Amino acid sequence: MIKKFIMALTAFVMSINIVSAKHIPSVIDKVFLDTDISKSAVGISIQNIDKPRKFYELNYEKPMMPASSQKLITTIPSIKILGENYKFSTKLYKEKNKQEYYLVLGADPYLTTRELKLLLSNIKLPKDKNISKIYIDDSIFDKTEWGEGWQWDDDLNPLIPKYSAYNIDGNLIKITFTPLNNQPPQVETNVFYPIVFMNYVKNGNKNDIKLSRKNYISSNEITLDGEILSKTSVNVPINNMELYFKLRIKDSLKANKLHYYDDFTFKKLPTKNIELIGEITHPIDKAIFDIYENSNNLVAETVFKLAGAKYSNSKGSFEHSYQIIEDFCSANVVDLSTVRIVDGSGVSKNNLLTPKFMTDYLVQLVNNYGYDEVSKMLASPNNEYGTLKNRMLFLQNNLHAKTGTLFDVSSISGFIETRKGNKYAFSIIINDAKSTKIQKKSFEEVLLREIYRNL
């Protein structure tokens, strides 16, 4: 009798799970009833991690712009290739028996001018001797400084700076505006860099400054417009990174009372008769946090390109980095033919991914590296920092994800553990010009709550 009761109870519990799975489409349909977002503008894919089973798919094979959720695809394999102990590095070498020095760039996205000064302080000259030559080895990367499809009107967007072997100071320069009595506000930069300002800013009742640059007229001219009430600053991307870096070398030499009268020219580091005399490093752990918690595009692009350099044992380029994705998909039978990836950060509108590709890829990441190892890299809801700050706190201990926001795009992809203890890979991509950012984000949160409750 007891055995029959247990069998009946087991069958009943199984039937509940089956009903829940079958009714998830109706649950999601209900979410759509409470929003103005069209079903045709939303792509959804939900896959069970432990079992090869798809629970819900909507427009799942429709190519859509993923925005920064694409960092899931590019960064995790890159981190694995570079290794968890990898350090960004900028090195200073001296040629033996000569006063010739080699500054070997590692494209460190965290290098600062202050650290460059510290690095160059390792130059110790004999009495009555000057530096004969300083060479720069920038061979770690090719010369491409922006991703395909990055838009010209993002030229002054501080969230999308150029990236190269010459990364320093976040590749940004600070412009400070100070109101003055009976005359236009004063405009200053924090360091010397050749910029011409067309200053039309006026004293007013609020801080509202607009910047524009017409590169086809002059790449060094920035037009300033708007009004300011109090002293304020804005950051703008550096348009000539090599020039900026060389100016900071000059500042660093001067700060160390070192005299140098020649140009800085490129020369690859020799393999003989050299010695390392200084190095500045930063651990990759900081990059993982910045990419997944803060969605830092400069760091994401740099890590992707560095991984490509190591993977190919050659100069870093997008082509070498993309080979990482191609080989991963080939080895794990993930169909790459329906998607298009053109950068490492998701900034470009030329990127097109399908929700199905996203979840297929996420499942294979787990199969290769383990759920805990992959999920711990991603952001979780909290009330302190990151792209999930004050969002989805209901799912605080059950959600590991990467968000994306770009013009008319909102997305979130990652992993969710439901209240039944089931683990799913999911991808929600919204490409909708008619709804607001808040409406898109609210839709994502409501949908994830229903997934948590019903699967």
The whole-number average pLDDT for the span 64-75 is 97
Task: Verify that 233 and 265 share a domain, yes or no.
Answer: no
Choosing from 282, 314, 346, the residue where a domain stops is 282
CATH code (residue 322): 3.40.710.10
Confidence band, pLDDT 50/70/90 cuts, at residue 7: very low
Cβ atoms of 94 and 277 within 8 Å: the answer is: yes
Q: Are residues 171 and 313 in the same domain?
A: no
Average pLDDT over residues 429-446: 94
Are 49 and 128 part of one and the same domain? no
Q: Name the residue range of residue 181's domain.
A: 153-237
Asked if residue 55 has pLDDT above 80, the reply is: no
Please state, in angstroms and rounded to a whole number, the distance separating the CA atoms of residues 131 and 148: 40
Question: Which pLDDT band holds residue 384 (cuts at 50, 70, 90)?
Answer: confident
| Residue 216 pLDDT | 77
Same domain, 49 and 189: no
pLDDT tens column, 142-165: 999 999 999 877 889 999 999 999
* Per-residue pLDDT tens digits for 177-199: 999 988 889 999 999 999 999 99
pLDDT of residue 307: 98
Residues 249, 102 within the same domain: yes
This prediction's pTM: 0.91
pLDDT value at residue 5: 34
Q: What is the CATH number of the domain that holds 129?
A: 3.50.80.20
Q: Each residue of 405-420: pLDDT tens digit?
A: 998 999 999 999 999 9
Mean pLDDT value of segment 10-25: 45
Q: Which residues pair with 404 in a beta bridge?
A: 411
pLDDT band at 2 (very low <50, low <70, confident <90, very high): very low
Question: What's the mean pLDDT when you consider all of the chain?
Answer: 91
Residue 11 domain-assigned (yes or no): no
pLDDT of residue 3: 46
4 in any annotated domain = no
Asked if residue 16 belongs to a domain, the reply is no
Per-residue model confidence (pLDDT) at position 407:
86
Backbone conformation region of residue 176, classed left if phi is above 0, alpha if psi is from -120 to 50, else beta: beta
Domain contains 14: no
| pLDDT score of 259 | 92
Q: What's residue 52's pLDDT?
A: 65
Minimum mean pLDDT range among 26-35, 67-76, 117-126: 26-35
Looking at 219, 253, 282, the residue that finishes a domain is 282
The answer to whether position 15 is within a domain reads no
Residues 357 and 443 reside in one and the same domain: yes
Q: For residue 16, what pLDDT band results from cuts at 50, 70 and 90?
A: very low
* Residues 121, 77 share a domain: no
Residue 331 pLDDT greater than 90, yes or no: yes
Q: With left for phi above 0 and alpha for psi between -120 and 50, is residue 164 left, alpha or beta?
A: beta
Please check whether residue 116 lies inside any domain of the structure. Answer: yes
Q: HSE of 234 in the Cβ direction (CA atoms, 13 Å)?
A: 19
Whether 301 and 196 map to the same domain: the answer is no
CA dihedral 93→96→99→105, nearest 10 degrees, is -10
Query: How confident is residue 215, by pLDDT bands cut at 50, 70 and 90?
Result: confident
Q: How confident is the model at residue 238 (pLDDT cuts 50, 70, 90)?
A: very high
Q: Is 90 exceeded by the pLDDT of residue 43?
A: yes
Tally of domains in the chain: 3
